[in-house]
Chains A and B, each alone.
Chain A
Amino acid sequence: MEQPQPLTILIADDNPVDRLLLASILRQFGHKVILAVDGRDAVEKFDAKTVQLVCLGITMPHKNGWEVAEDIQCITGDLFIPIIFLSGVVDAVALSNCLRVGGADFISKPYNTALITTKLNTIVRLLVMRRTLEEQRDAMALYNQQLLNEQDVAKVVYENITHSNCLNDSALSTFHYGTHTFNGDVILAAYKPNGGMHLLLGDFTGHGLSAAIGALPLADIFFDWTKKGFLMRQIIPEINARLKGILPTNMFCSAAFIDIKVNDKSIEIWNGGLPDLLFFSQQSDRPIRFASKNLPLGILSPELFECRIDPVSFSSGDRIMAFSDGVYEALDGAGTMFCDSVLPPLYKGEIRAEESVDWLMAQLQQEDVLDNPHDDISCLSVRLDPAIGIDSSRHLVSKAHHEAPADFSFDYVLHADSLRNTDPLPYVLQILTTVPGLSRFSSQIFMILSELYSNALEHGVLKLSSAKKDSSDGFSSYYEERERTLANLTEGFVKISVKVTSDRQHRLLVLYVEDSGVGFDFHRASYDTSNTELLYNRGLGLLHRLCSKLEFSKGGRAVSAHYCWQVGEES
């Protein structure tokens, strides 16, 4: 026969004969017995830490068994200590009362040893089962706690990565509501080294952790490549390739990428799967819509991926706005989607551009969407201005005063194939920023370098005339022509020569750029930047301002720019 494990049992019975008889039966099986002579004695002797089973007489002086049962249950709280009633009566009502107050079972008198043994075995099994359950419950609670802790840590890491940006720039207004701890929507903003800004609003399939996980590589590439000076048209395919590589087939990221180019006062817009972006020009009554022309990121293989980009020129105070599906598909009180019920006034230009974000948020609030969103919701709006991102590198100034001397030079010559397929600037910049003290001026250097290079490429090698940029329309056709002629380029070159000499007294960078074009009449070049409305020819004035010396040679085919820099805080 199965031998139950020994228990500590409290017996309360005012009948001494029955009490001792039961005690001796239980001791016989190895159990430890505590005896109480009446109800009050039972409550006093009950110790929840040691007693595992309670046997109670029903009718006892001072306190009857049912009252004792209630008192004991008060003391035990969550602990499970079964109670068995001892009964001389076989009154069905009295017995069912025992079960009603929480009794596990009852034993009838006169005592039958075999019956008591069986019942005790059952109780032991119950106790074991209960303990297992409790252990599992505790393990679950612990596991859940660990999970929450891990999520908190992950959330910090996630936010550090996806928010390490310039979202607090005063030109930006954004809002962001998630349905989970982790948000499947991301808004990223980063200053470019040559002024201006890259912005990305992304919406991953699904919500929560699984959606957020794709945001990490996305943010990583976005910030890293922007900092290194890569262009939007280079960053987007890289993000697509990475997401395609890591996400499962049914997951992707709908996104909008905006490149704010302050040098020629234009923006470039890439929309892959997001609702139309809205460009509020002060010259137009209603916003211009930029519909998605691309598949979302992470669907096409790198070979098939193409970047369809819309360029548009802006003047100070124009705005661009983007929002995620969560806004477009939000349901109003009547169950109609926002795109049909709420958004039309925005599309028709009835909402003032500078109020559009606040207005949209108020609509979402009013229709009760923010309190129980079905999808992650995010929105961004930028007040466009040629000052965006200028001087941004000041925030990142390193405090190091000492510097090691540097003295090197190199030539980098790109012929037709490489002109078509590579962008040399990030690589040149990377080498230049290895010079101690020079890295903090990377944004100015990048600006000089990119002006020189694009002049050489566009006007020298591709022979494009910048007068074409003279209107908003001409502006996009200029870029189309640039794309087309570059794609068909079979001959020509651009040579970039870099010379750095730096010691304690003199710090000089000479950038020499030569192209295979026909040159131009540099004696008539204008360095005037006062006409800010001019869409082109702003580059030379900019160069003139940044460089200590700007010198043309070879009939305008070559130019060398001298740049001196200071070390320490005196700038």
Chain B
Amino acid sequence: MVERFFDKQARCLTISVKGRFDYNCHKIFKDAFSAFDATICYVIDFVEVTYLDSSALGMLLLLRDHAGGERADIRLINVNGAVMDTLKAANFHRLFSITE
């Protein structure tokens, strides 16, 4: 499940993923981050994510590309447990700002 909230003032898009973040979220996640133009920053809330697979890592890369690659401002928040392990193993903390 994917929910989104757009803060017009800050032009900040928050996407909350719930449950398993895997290939089944592909379309809805892509729709969520491409829905708003002129977004400055992205926050992905992992508080309710129980599992993350490699296609989810791929989706984060797609978002990063969409948000401007090297210049992208993307924060992954409320990351815990196994999800943190997966992100760390892939060294994604070098691409994204990740917090617990």
Contact = CB atoms under 8 A, between A and B. Distances in A.
Interface in A246-284: 249-252, 254, 272-275
Q: Which of B53, B54, B70, B88 has the most CB of A within 10 A?
A: B54
B62 interface: yes
A205 B54 contact: yes
Interface stretch (A107-115, A289-297, A315-323, A509-517): A289-297
B70 to A, nearest CB: 8
A250 B59 contact: yes
A254 B90 contact: yes
B82 A337 contact: yes
B59 A294 contact: no
Given A205-B55, A295-B95, A274 B61 contact: no
B54 A295 contact: no
B55 A295 contact: no
B58 A295 contact: no
A249 B33 CA distance: 15
Contact of B89 (A205, A291, A304): A291
A299 B69 CA distance: 11
Interface in A310-349: 325, 329, 337, 339
B90 A250 contact: no
A179 to B, nearest CB: 13
A331 to B, nearest CB: 10
Given A291-B89, A292-B89, A337-B82, A249 B54 contact: no
Contacts of A251: 58
A556 interface: no
B71 to A, nearest CB: 13
B91 interface: yes
The winner among A249, A274, A291 for most chain B CB atoms within 10 A is A249
Given A205-B57, A337-B82, A295 B62 contact: no
B89 A250 contact: no
A295 B94 contact: yes
A295 B57 contact: no
A250 B91 contact: no
Contacts of A329: 53
Given A249-B62, A274-B89, A299-B61, A254 B54 contact: yes
Interface residues on A, range: 20 to 34
A275 B86 CA distance: 9
A150 to B, nearest CB: 25
Contacts of A272: 91
A206 interface: yes
A295 B92 contact: yes
Given A206-B54, A249-B65, A254-B54, A295 B59 contact: no
A203 B90 CA distance: 12
Interface string B56-89: 0111011001000010000000000010010011
A96 to B, nearest CB: 46
A273 B58 contact: no
Given A295-B95, A325-B54, A252 B89 contact: no
Contacts of B53: 329
Nearest to A295: B91
Contacts of B94: 295
Which of B53, B88, B91 has its CB near the most chain A CB atoms (within 10 A)? B91
Nearest to B54: A205
Contacts of A296: 90-91
Nearest to B70: A304
Contact of A273 (B55, B61, B82, B90): B90
Contacts of B91: 272-273, 292-296
A121 to B, nearest CB: 45
Nearest to A293: B91
Given A205-B57, A249-B65, A252-B61, A295 B82 contact: no
A252 B94 CA distance: 16
Nearest to A294: B91
A203 B92 CA distance: 16
Contacts of B58: 205-206, 249-252
Residue from the set A296, A337, A339 with the largest chain B CB neighbour count within 10 Å: A296
B82 A250 contact: no
A559 to B, nearest CB: 42
Contacts of A203: 54
Contacts of A273: 89-91
Contacts of A291: 89
Nearest to B89: A292
Contacts of B54: 203, 205-206, 254, 325
The 3 closest A-B pairs by CB, nearest first: A250-B58, A273-B90, A295-B91
Interface of A: 203, 205-206, 249-252, 254, 272-275, 291-296, 299, 304, 325, 329, 337, 339
Interface of B: 23, 53-55, 57-59, 61-62, 65, 70, 82, 85, 88-92, 94-95
Given A205-B57, A205-B58, A299-B95, 5 more contacts: A249-B65, A292-B90, A293-B91, A299-B61, A329-B53
15 contacts: A205-B57, A206-B23, A206-B55, A206-B58, A249-B58, A254-B89, A254-B90, A274-B89, A292-B88, A292-B89, A292-B91, A295-B91, A295-B94, A296-B91, A304-B70
